[in-house]
Amino acid sequence: MNHRWLLVFGLSIGLIGVPSALAQRTLEFVTTNLQTFADFFNPLMERFQKANPGLSLKWTDLPQNAIQQKILAGVATGNPPDAVQMNSDQILVLAQQGALLPLNELLPPETFKLYQKPSLEAFTFEGKIYGLPDYASTRIVAFNTEILRKAGLDPSNPPKTIPGVIEWAKTIKDKTGIYGFAPLISGVDFLKTFQEAGLPIFDEKRRKAVFNSPAHVALLQQYVDLRKKDYFPEDVMRRGFTAAYELYTAGKLGIIIIGPQFMPRLEKDNNAVWKVTTVAPHPVGAGQVVQASTFAYAVPKGVRDPKAAAALAAWLTDDQNQLLFSKRTETTFPTTVKAAQDPYFSSGGGDLNAQARLAAAKTMRLGRDLSVSVPNSAALNKVFKDNLEAAIFGQKSAKQALDDIVKFWNANL
Q: Which DSSP string corresponds to 137-195?
A: EE-EEEEEHHHHHHTT--TTS--SSHHHHHHHHHHHHHHHSSB----S-SGGGHHHHHH
> Residue 89: what pLDDT?
85
User: Residue 6 pLDDT more than 70?
Assistant: no
Please tell me the predicted confidence (pLDDT) of residue 7.
43
Amino acid in the structure at residue 97: Q
pLDDT tens-digit profile of 286-303?
989 999 999 999 999 999
Residue 22 reports pLDDT greater than 70: no
Instruction: Give the pLDDT of residue 11.
Output: 35
Helix or strand (DSSP H, E) at 15 = none
pLDDT at position 377 is: 83
pLDDT at 366 exceeding the cut of 90: no
The pLDDT, as a whole number, for residue 269 is 97
Instruction: Output b/e per residue, 383-405; b: 16+ Cβ within 10 A.
Output: bbbebbbbbbeeebebbebbebb
Residue 385 clears pLDDT 80, i.e. is over it: yes
Cα separation, 232 vs 245, whole angstroms: 13
* pLDDT bucket at 211, cuts 50 / 70 / 90: very high
* Rounded mean pLDDT, 150-176: 96
Q: What radius of gyration do the chain's Cα atoms show? A: 22
Rounded Cα gap, residues 37 and 67, in angstroms:
18
Mean pLDDT across the chain, nearest whole number?
91
State how far the alpha carbon of 106 is from the alpha carbons of 17, 109, 130, 310, 313, in Å: 9, 10, 11, 6, 11
Instruction: Please tell me the predicted confidence (pLDDT) of residue 1.
Output: 32
Task: Return contacts of 371-374, CB within 8 angstroms, 24+ apart.
Answer: 371/87, 371/88, 371/89, 371/122, 371/192, 372/188, 372/191, 372/201, 373/88, 373/89, 373/92, 373/93, 373/96, 373/125, 374/409, 374/413
Does residue 10 surpass a pLDDT of 80? no
Contacts of 53 (CB under 8 A, 6+ apart): 2, 4, 5
Residue 71 one-letter amino acid: I
- Distance separating alpha carbons of residues 332 and 137, to the nearest angstrom: 5
**Largest Cα–Cα distance of the chain, in whole Å?**
74
What is the C-alpha to C-alpha distance for residues 93 and 95, in angstroms, rounded to an integer? Answer: 5
pLDDT of residue 19: 45
Q: Higher model confidence: residue 210 or residue 17?
A: 210
More confident residue, 132 or 357: 132
DSSP strands (E only) in 241-397: 255-258, 277-281, 290-298, 367-368
Residue 9 has pLDDT above 80, yes or no: no
Q: Are residues 375 and 97 in contact, defined by beta-carbon separation less than 8 angstroms?
A: no
| Higher per-residue confidence, 103 vs 347 | 103
pLDDT score recorded for residue 17 = 36
122 membership: H or E segment, kind and range: none
Q: How far is CA 165 from the centre of its chain?
A: 22
What local confidence, expressed as pLDDT, does residue 16 receive?
Answer: 36
Q: Could you tell me the domains of the chain?
A: 23-137+292-345 (3.40.190.10), 140-290+370-412 (3.40.190.10)
CA distance 321 to 327: 10
Question: What is the pTM assigned to this prediction?
Answer: 0.82
